[in-house]
Chain A
Amino acid sequence: MLYREAGQFKTTYNADQAIFPISQDRWFVTIVVLFAFLGMPLVAGQYLFTEVLIPVLILAIAAIGLNILTGYCGQLSLGTGGFMAVGAYAAYNLALRLPELNIIVVFLLAGVMAMLVGLLFGLPSLRIKGFYLAVATLASQFFLEWAFARVKWFTNYAPSGSVAAGKIDLFGFPIETPMQKYLFVLSLVVVFAMVAKNLVRSRIGRMWMATRDMDIAAEIIGIRPLTAKLSAFAISSFYIGVAGALWGFLRLGAWEPLAFDINRSFQVLFMIIIGGLGSILGSFLGAAFIVLTPIFLNQLPSILGIPLSTAAISHIEFMVFGALIVFFLIIEPHGLARLWAIGKEKLRLWPFPY
């Protein structure tokens, strides 16, 4: 009843190809974004901002990045953590050595830096495919992790090996409180998600998807594998690099290479698989799921009143998390985005049977 597109006639091609062709979708997204900008700052507390909203949004950018590479272009990558580290350390060094740069320029340049590194480590993808490539991308993960731990210039010769981001301000306005950070991240996320959504609908996105579905066939119909794969690596690494810079500056504040270890790579990979491969919406749903589940599992014993040691909780958390992943894959291998689509399909008829 509520979600019916009957009577919505499209009279132009533009209207037919809009991102949200159905007006209910348009309204829904507008309300969600407006609420995120205006409503959330009124209702959310400090804990919600720092522990839930900011991590979800930043990791959603990383998930979109990985989704471009893995979900749209079909190149499985386990090097996400390494590219996030490139973004974080590039931003740190840029902010340190060129303090007059605007913080947004710093973050974008950090993304560009990650993009260059991503291009370099994307080169083997032209020769290696499938799981061989996945393991090969681990080379970048371990190499980058090592480089940031050992090369002293990256950490500005800090004796402890950890670096701390300075205060950041935007056109003179300081970004200090959790709410300001949240709004800053949110604005970036909206822009990045819009760009990604349009990219995957464009020529380049179709190139990626053709390569994913069958690379030889794509090559035969005239898609250059070099352009398709490397552009996916470049844009994906750009997103991941920006996410890394944001993670370092706005979430952690001070960090060492361990913050971007292989578990981070797997975390982002879990997000896109649980959320849905090849779906921008799925990146958000996956990020929310992966961030919220451990928080929930952590609180559960105390809510239920079961006394457990911290070690036991963390082990059980591992167990439940692993079991949940398997469970989700079994009930819906195409992720939360697919469940969402099924739900919408059902809503078209509801409450009538047909």
Chain B
Amino acid sequence: MLGPILETFIGGLLTGVLYSLVALGFVLIFKASGVFNFAQGAMVLFAALSLARLSEVMPLYIALPLTVVIMVALAYAIEFLVLRPLINQEGIILFMATLGVANFLDGFGQTVWGSDIYKIDLGMPKNPIFIFESVFPGGLLIDPSELIAAVICAVLVVVLAIFFQVTRVGRALRAVADDHQAAQSVGIPLNQIWLLVWAVAGIVALVAGMMWGAKLGVQFSIALVALKALPVLILGGFTSIPGAIIGGLIIGAGEKLAEVILGPVLVRAFDLAGGGIENWFAYVLALMFLLVRPQGLFGEKIIERV
């Protein structure tokens, strides 16, 4: 009995890493500009679509940098056309604007690149591997591509952490996150910082899109992954990069375990037409955490003043 549960747990953790990747994009932008960027999911889809279609006509090592260029251009367009005119508006207005951007990107991506299901072939090993065969009968089944995704994600997080903590630009980013006006008054160029953050978020979206695309195929449903990343976000806290990672792991493992363990119990108890509690369990789990810590696990303590 323990074997399958442990297997589910590990599978959940690895899926959770992918949620973390999407949540990371949200956190970066929220940290630096206070914008709750709902378009992150659309950006993931757009990046994945671009990469998939470009890699059809050229080798991956050319397509990848080209997609990075596209994402940076997109970041520039968003900064110039949407954020700059809306500077100093309330959070909810900016949030709505990103909803508009999400709509636009969903349509734009599919108009330009097409709306079928595309494949991204990263050349990752497909055959599942087994570990701990001596401990459990049959061993534990693990998908190597998910393992690679986890490693890439870990590397990305370390790089981002170093970038934020050590470099000059990173310090500027944190200054902008703390206080826009104060940062601007000591000479930090706000527009450039925002452009940079959106570009980095675009590249994180590209990585997330690559991983999801390799796993599920590139299709519209990737944009919906963003909805899975939201509970990760509130669980970990909107402003914390480690929070996004830990939150992703908790949500990923939690929802898979709940589906396997809690699902059948609920189905039997209430005579349901199938389980599928994955869709809301993550949210309810995150809500439970929030009732104890309203700013998420690692969010900055909310200090309110009148």
A-side interface residues, number (CB < 8 Å): 52
Q: Mark B75-87, 1 if CB is under 8 A from A, else 0.
A: 0000001100110
Nearest CB in chain B: distance from A212 CB, A: 11
Chain A residue numbers with a CB within 8 Å of B290 are 124, 127-128, 132, 136
Bound-state Cα–Cα, A266 to B98, Å: 12
CB–CB A317/B231 < 8 A: no
Closest to A143 in B: B280
CB–CB A329/B93 < 8 A: yes
Nearest CB in chain B: distance from A321 CB, A: 5
Q: A132-B296, A325-B100 are in contact. Are A315 and B89 (CB under 8 A)?
A: no
Nearest CB in chain A: distance from B99 CB, A: 7
Interface residues of B in 20-67 (CB under 8 A from A): 36
CB–CB B272/A151 < 8 A: yes
Which of A142, A311, A315, A324 is the one whose CB lies under 8 Å from B283? A142
B-contacting 9-mer, from A9-17, A35-43, A53-61, A213-221: A213-221
CB–CB A319/B111 < 8 A: yes
CB–CB A326/B306 < 8 A: no
Q: A130-B91, A318-B103, A322-B107 are in contact. Are A152 and B279 (CB under 8 A)?
A: no
Q: A262-B227, A319-B103 are in contact. Are A131 and B238 (CB under 8 A)?
A: yes
Bound-state Cα–Cα, A139 to B270, Å: 20
| B164 contacts partner chain A, Cβ-Cβ < 8 Å | no
B-side interface residues, number (CB < 8 Å): 55
| B105 contacts partner chain A, Cβ-Cβ < 8 Å | yes
| A226 contacts partner chain B, Cβ-Cβ < 8 Å | no
Closest to B81 in A: A326
| A330 contacts partner chain B, Cβ-Cβ < 8 Å | yes
Chain B residue numbers with a CB within 8 Å of A277 are 92
CB–CB B86/A131 < 8 A: no
Q: A124-B291, A273-B96 are in contact. Are A330 and B284 (CB under 8 A)?
A: no
Chain B residue numbers with a CB within 8 Å of A128 are 290-291, 294
Bound-state Cα–Cα, A262 to B280, Å: 12
Bound-state Cα–Cα, A142 to B99, Å: 19
Chain A residue numbers with a CB within 8 Å of B91 are 130-131
| B287 contacts partner chain A, Cβ-Cβ < 8 Å | yes
Chain B residue numbers with a CB within 8 Å of A150 are 272-276
CB–CB B104/A124 < 8 A: no
| B257 contacts partner chain A, Cβ-Cβ < 8 Å | no
CB–CB A220/B306 < 8 A: yes
Q: Mark A94-134, 1 if CB is under 8 A from B, else 0.
A: 00000000000000000000000000000010011111101
Bound-state Cα–Cα, A124 to B238, Å: 18
| A161 contacts partner chain B, Cβ-Cβ < 8 Å | yes
Q: A214-B306, A220-B306 are in contact. Are A319 and B233 (CB under 8 A)?
A: no
Bound-state Cα–Cα, A15 to B177, Å: 50
CB–CB B306/A132 < 8 A: no
| B165 contacts partner chain A, Cβ-Cβ < 8 Å | no
CB–CB B280/A139 < 8 A: yes
Chain A residue numbers with a CB within 8 Å of B306 are 214, 216-217, 220
Closest to B274 in A: A150
Chain A residue numbers with a CB within 8 Å of B280 are 139, 142-143, 145-146
Nearest CB in chain B: distance from A130 CB, A: 7
Bound-state Cα–Cα, A128 to B234, Å: 10
Q: Mark B257-276, 1 if CB is under 8 A from A, else 0.
A: 00000000000001111111
Chain A residue numbers with a CB within 8 Å of B90 are 333
Q: A216-B306, A326-B100 are in contact. Are A139 and B283 (CB under 8 A)?
A: yes
Nearest CB in chain B: distance from A124 CB, A: 6
Which of A131, A138, A145, A323 is the one whose CB lies under 8 Å from B100? A323
| B13 contacts partner chain A, Cβ-Cβ < 8 Å | no
| B175 contacts partner chain A, Cβ-Cβ < 8 Å | no
CB–CB A127/B99 < 8 A: no
Bound-state Cα–Cα, A322 to B61, Å: 33
CB–CB B86/A329 < 8 A: yes
Nearest CB in chain B: distance from A145 CB, A: 7
CB–CB B230/A138 < 8 A: yes
Chain A residue numbers with a CB within 8 Å of B100 are 321-326, 329
CB–CB B92/A319 < 8 A: no
| A52 contacts partner chain B, Cβ-Cβ < 8 Å | no
Bound-state Cα–Cα, A266 to B277, Å: 22
Bound-state Cα–Cα, A145 to B278, Å: 12
Q: A139-B280, A151-B270, A152-B272 are in contact. Are A322 and B105 (CB under 8 A)?
A: yes
Nearest CB in chain A: distance from B275 CB, A: 8
Nearest CB in chain B: distance from A239 CB, A: 20
Q: Given A136-B286, A319-B107, 4 more contacts at CB 8 Å?
A: A128-B291, A149-B276, A273-B92, A333-B86
Please name 6 pairs of A and B residues whose Cβ atoms are closer than 8 Å in the assembled complex, sorted by A: A76-B92, A127-B291, A132-B234, A317-B107, A326-B81, A329-B89
A residues at B contact (CB < 8 Å): 70, 76, 124, 127-132, 134-136, 138-139, 142-143, 145-146, 149-153, 161, 214, 216-217, 220, 262, 266, 269-270, 273, 277, 311-312, 314-326, 329-330, 333
